[in-house]
Amino acid sequence: MSRESIEVLVEKWMEDPEFRAAVRKDPEGTVRSTGVELTADEWSAVRNFDWSLSDEELTARANMDSSGCDGA
């Protein structure tokens, strides 16, 4: 997956409350619907991520991940 793909998902997450709600309900299906291509490891991260975190925690983590830091 390219950096641009990550940025697309992070931007969508930050700007679209309906997307955030959909990701919480069906992370894999919602990300797939964007057309963004992920590696096997990235899909594993989507499946295993704790989507019960608050919007603030998830946004902070997304910001760290998109800047190249490890948000774990």
Percentage of residues of the chain with pLDDT beyond 90: 29
In order, the DSSP letters of the chain are --HHHHHHHHHHHHH-HHHHHHHHH-HHHHHHHTT----HHHHHHHHHS-TTS-HHHHHHHHHHHHTT----
pTM, full prediction: 0.72
Q: What is the pLDDT of residue 51?
A: 86
Question: Where does the pLDDT of residue 59 fall: very low under 50, low under 70, confident under 90, or very high at 90 and above?
Answer: confident
Question: Where does the pLDDT of residue 70 fall: very low under 50, low under 70, confident under 90, or very high at 90 and above?
Answer: very low
Q: What is the pLDDT of residue 71?
A: 42
Boundaries of every domain in the chain? 3-66
Q: What is the pLDDT of residue 9?
A: 86
Q: Which distant-in-sequence residues (6+ apart) come within 8 Å of 28 by Cβ?
A: 43, 46, 47
Q: Which distant-in-sequence residues (6+ apart) come within 8 Å of 57 by Cβ?
A: none
